[in-house]
Amino acid sequence: MNVYQLSAKNCMSHLLLKDTFDTFLFIEGEFTTFNKFTISGYLQEDFFDEKLEETYSRWEKIRDFCFQIIRGKRTPLNFKIVLALPDDQIPAFLTAHGLTTYRPEDIQGLYLNFHYDGSTLQCITGTSLKTFSMDKSLEREWDTEVKSILKSKNIEGEY
């Protein structure tokens, strides 16, 4: 787990106005403005006519809705947004980072947690395994990947 302090204005532009994180899954969000809004990204299978390939919404499908909640003359009091690398991208991530001791099916998730407290925006990385492991190479490589993503998109902050 790593914590990155980010420029709120710059990062919010990437989160809400650009496609920077669109391929990620939206796990959950909580936004406090004039009310507290809590959104689960879990897709309700019974709503759809066809079988779903994913369990959670892609960020690109929910991003504008979240923007509408935050949008206004005043900044939100706080918010959190939890995103995850889609399962179908985990094998390529493991291969690219030489993590041959991990099997994709053993990884619960690779997460990005954006947290805004009214003045400071943080991005906190997280990993979750379905089995116990003392090996921290997955965490280190996920931190490296996130730092690379943030820097390549010119998201300002302290890395």
- Residues 4-51 have pLDDT tens digits of 999 999 999 999 999 999 999 999 999 999 999 999 999 999 999 998
Domain count within the chain: 1
**What pLDDT sits at residue 159?**
78
Cα 53 to Cα 4: distance, rounded to the nearest angstrom: 32
pLDDT at 53 over 90: no
Q: How confident is the model at residue 126 (pLDDT cuts 50, 70, 90)?
A: very high
Cα–Cα separations (whole angstroms), residue 31 to 34, 58, 85, 135: 9, 18, 22, 35
What's the pTM? 0.93
**What pLDDT sits at residue 139?**
96
**What pLDDT sits at residue 73?**
87
Structural domain boundaries enclosing 126:
3-158
* Sign of the alpha-carbon torsion through 130, 133, 138, 140: positive
pLDDT at 72 over 90: no
> In which residue are the tokens 């947690």 written?
113
pLDDT at 65 over 90: yes
Cα–Cα separations (whole angstroms), residue 109 to 42, 104, 126: 14, 10, 8
